[in-house]
Structure 1
Amino acid sequence: MDQANRELEALLDFYLASGIDCLLETEPVDRFLETAQLAERRMAGQVSRTPDRPVQGAGPAALQPQRPRMPGTDRTFLQSAHQSGQQPVSAGPAAQPLGGDPSGGGSSVVLPNESAVESARDAARNVSTLDELRACLDGFDGCNLRLTAKNLVFADGNPQARVMFVGEAPGRDEDLQGKPFVGRSGQLLDRMLKAIGLDRSDAYIANVVPWRPPGNRTPTPQETEICKPFIMRQIELVNPDILVFLGSASAKTLLGTQEGIRKLRGRWMKFSTGSAEISCVATYHPAYLLRSPLEKRQSWQDFQSIKKKLAEIPHNLS
């Protein structure tokens, strides 16, 4: 499958995850006019009022139920837009459930391609503080997840903390509150921090993807790549002494490895921001531990190792 088809498939997957389960067409349909015409035909005796009786003179195709149509997002339109080099695909005012402007101005869905990734890199490269990075993400329109999420989930904790935790993506509770790790998995993370003498004032917590994917699905590779420059810049700006990857998804994305969490966890490695080398380690995601409580023993060992490492390395004051 060529690149164009892969991009179109990713966009259609996004629509499906957002609850749009039928193909949409490019021409608007006046349902009021259709209703008036149907009433006129009934008055003329051309259409039966009984639902299971066929329309007089109509073939089988006329008996098929017609789904409502919305402009701007059928396959033909998407293909032509891509081939012509147009990156945004306007969803129009009718696409309000996808997160459009409440005033009726509509929203813009983008093709998750290399241009979107490059746009993210440029945006992340041009910020110099965490506040600027947050404002940049608030205004960034290159990731379609922003259209279905309620809130940007940027970070929680202390930006001056020595240890930074990075997960994959927010869930429902995080989306509602706009903070990472505040649901059941976040409560478990708080207890794990407490076990080594820390709390959220001693840690900085973020995710690779700062918007909740619809239905808590796994972010697509394209969505992750678009968001990656922002978390990379976030780590660089925080510049912690220790970086902890919560789960295999964040570790694989940021370390560029395909190794699973069972092989990665507990191993101290180096993460390069381009300007610094940071000691890093991966451990199980708290959500996984809730499903597999027997693995908590290994996570306990990982957190003890984090405590030991904090005592061993000098505090980075830069």
Structure 2
Amino acid sequence: MPMTSSADAQRDLIAYLDFHVESGVDLALDEAPHDRFQEADTPAPTLLRTAPARDAPVEAARRALPPRDAVSSREEAPPAPEKAPSPPRTYGQSASAKPEEAATDARARAREVGTLAELEALLADFDGCPLRFTAKNLAFSDGNPAAKLMFIGEAPGADEDRVGKPFMGRSGQLLDRMMAAIGLDRTMAYVANVVPWRPPGNREPTIQELAVCRPFLERQIELADPDIIVCLGNPATKAITGTKDGILKARGRFYPYAMSHRTVRALATLHPAYLLRQPMQKRLAWRDFRLLRAALDGKA
């Protein structure tokens, strides 16, 4: 039998780990593996006493009740002393803060920063969103912040979480090819996401997570000050335009986006990840990017 070289074993191990990462298994919950199929065949331990049979005498149930004098003694006992009031919480300093409180704190903090670098540093220390504690890295932005074109996606994936920048995986490679088709690259655009931290297992961000991150996104757009925003996918389109339409109905249209000092246009189109799953829809994205090119050239 031929012996497996260490290089082959390393390659097989990396492929095995990549398979689990692509499947969404990217967190170790225990040091030792568990055979859940074998555990399913093992009867669960009985933690509660067996309930009395339905035909048990009523007297047995009565004996389980406390005596009347015990009840009266509890009623006549002096009330327990009131607990000391909890110290006031500094909202946004703990992931246990209520979502609305964290969103309020995020809005106040976002208004205080004056540059994109300050905003990124603020997000790196902000712990009002629980996604920060499950993600490896903050994926704040990529590209040219001085560009007049800004792409906004949904949330980082596994590759983006490892690198710390948005659109670094297969979706990012497709986005680069889509931009190149109309004569653009990342030096000509600024790239960000609605949520800068990866949701566990690549799930969609929750309404609460979107609400907490929204003030930071709005401030990021204002500081970048693009002339045109491209919303990649349904979550970004709804967050930026406020439309209730699905992405297949909303795409291919410009929507007004109001900043504090001016209003710019936001174009809705399909997310590259969706196009990887539905390659036949690339024809629609091509129409949208041709419209984007015409808008950049002042013809639309």
| Cα separation, partners in 2 of 1:85 and 1:216, compared to 1, 3 Å | farther
Aligned to 1:303: 289
TM superposition score normalised by structure 1: 0.66
Instruction: Name whichever of 276-285 and 304-313 sits farther off.
Output: 304-313
TM superposition score normalised by structure 2: 0.70
Q: Deviations over 1:80-111 (max 9, x none)?
A: xxx9797689xxxxxxxxxxxxxxxxx94324
| Cα separation, partners in 2 of 1:138 and 1:303, compared to 1, 3 Å | same
Structure 2 gaps of 5+ residues are 1-25, 30-41, 51-84
Give the deviation of 1:142 after TM superposition: 0.7
Equivalent residues in 2 for 1:117-196 (5 A)? 117-196=103-182
Aligned to 1:237: 223
Describe the SS at the equivalent of 1:230: helix
Give the deviation of 1:61 after TM superposition: 3.4
Equivalent residues in 2 for 1:266-281 (5 A)? 266-281=252-267
Equivalent pair of 1:112/1:222 in contact (CA under 8 Å): no
Which among 210, 213, 217 is matched to residue 203 of structure 2?
A: 217
Equivalent pair of 2:155/2:193 in contact (CA under 8 Å): yes
The structure with the largest alpha-carbon Rg is: 2
Q: How far apart, in 1, do the equivalents of 2:87 and 2:241 lie? A: 32
Equivalent pair of 2:154/2:195 in contact (CA under 8 Å): yes
Give the deviation of 1:270 after TM superposition: 1.2
Equivalent residues in 2 for 1:201-216 (5 A)? 201-216=187-202
Equivalent pair of 2:241/2:255 in contact (CA under 8 Å): no
Q: Deviations over 1:194-251 (max 9, x none)?
A: 0000001011000010000111111110000000000111011111111000001011
Give the deviation of 1:178 after TM superposition: 0.2
Q: How far apart, in 1, do the equivalents of 2:102 and 2:256 lie? A: 28
Q: How far apart, in 1, do the equivalents of 2:216 and 2:122 lie? A: 9
Give the deviation of 1:141 after TM superposition: 1.2
Q: How far apart, in 2, do the equivalents of 1:113 and 1:219 lie? A: 13
Q: Aligned pairs, how many? A: 227
Structure 1 residue runs of 4 or more that deviate by more than 3 Å after TM superposition: 17-20, 59-63, 83-89
Amino acid at match of 2:275: L
| Cα separation, partners in 2 of 1:179 and 1:197, compared to 1, 3 Å | same
Q: How far apart, in 1, do the equivalents of 2:87 and 2:198 lie? A: 29
Aligned to 2:48: 61
Equivalent pair of 1:164/1:203 in contact (CA under 8 Å): yes
Amino acid at match of 2:165: K
Structure 1 gaps of 5+ residues are 1-16, 21-50, 64-82, 90-106
Describe the SS at the equivalent of 2:138: coil
Q: How far apart, in 2, do the equivalents of 1:210 and 1:164 lie? A: 15
